Amino acid sequence: MSTGDYVTRGTKVAVVVRVNPLRVQMTVPEQFVSAVGVGQRAMFVVDAYPGREFAGTVKYVAPALQADQRALTIEAVVPNPRGELKPGLFATARIEQPAKTLGIVIPAAAVQTTSGTSRVFIVNGDRVEERIVTTGQAVGDLIEVTKGLKAGERVATANVAQLADGMKVS
């Protein structure tokens, strides 16, 4: 379209975008759906501003999962008074939980994942026992184990690729 052209009803001539506050759309994996709610604080980082964190509040939680992704769409509102955040930026978000929950974390090196199945070896006396586990979030060089381990169990962290169920260790 150029200056002076006639337009008809329904022709798009401009796009209006509100950048303050900015709406951030995110998807949350299915296993974390129960932990997300309106009013929770969300922290964001964007590649355009390395080392800076932006804060927002969850304002909308979709009523259903996206079937193709098995994920829930949520929206957060982030104050953007200086217009630094631009629509279309890719953001990585962290949603704060209302209360801390206990979890089990182990060194990521202790987990072997093959064909989508994660395994660890528990040290039981002088032998190792293979366990299938479900992992959660990674935290540095540690990884959360959500199923398959009990608090206080010792896991093998060295030479795990050479271990087998029932193998004697020193």
| pLDDT-based confidence at residue 71 (cuts at 50, 70, 90) | confident
Q: From residue 59, give the alpha-carbon distance in Å to each of 35, 43, 53, 101, 125.
A: 14, 14, 19, 23, 51
The answer to whether the CB of 121 falls within 8 A of the CB of 109 is no
Residue 31: pLDDT over 70: yes
Q: Which of 69, 65, 58 is nearest to 36 (CA)?
A: 58
The CA distance from 127 to 169, in Å, is: 5
Taking the C-alpha atoms of residue 89 and residue 144, their distance in angstroms, rounded to an integer, is 29
Confidence of residue 56 (pLDDT cuts 50, 70, 90): very high
Q: Model confidence over 116-169: pLDDT tens digits?
A: 899 999 999 899 999 999 888 887 899 989 889 998 999 999 888 889 899 988
Residues 131, 95: contact at Cβ < 8 Å? no
Do the beta carbons of residue 159 and residue 147 sit within 8 Å? no
pTM, rounded to two decimals = 0.54
* DSSP SS3 for 96: coil
Q: What is the pLDDT of residues 3-24, one digit of tens each?
A: 788 888 888 887 777 888 989 9
Distance CA 86, CA 106 (A): 38
> pLDDT tens across 78-124, in order?
999 998 999 889 988 888 776 666 788 999 999 998 888 999 999 99
> What pLDDT was estimated at residue 95?
83
Write the CB contacts of 139 (distance below 8 Å, at least 6 apart in sequence). Answer: 105
**What is the reported pLDDT for 170?**
76
Helices (H), the chain: none
- Write down how long the chain is: 170
Question: Can you tell me the distance from the alpha carbon of 98 to that of 158, in angstroms, rounded to the nearest whole number?
Answer: 36
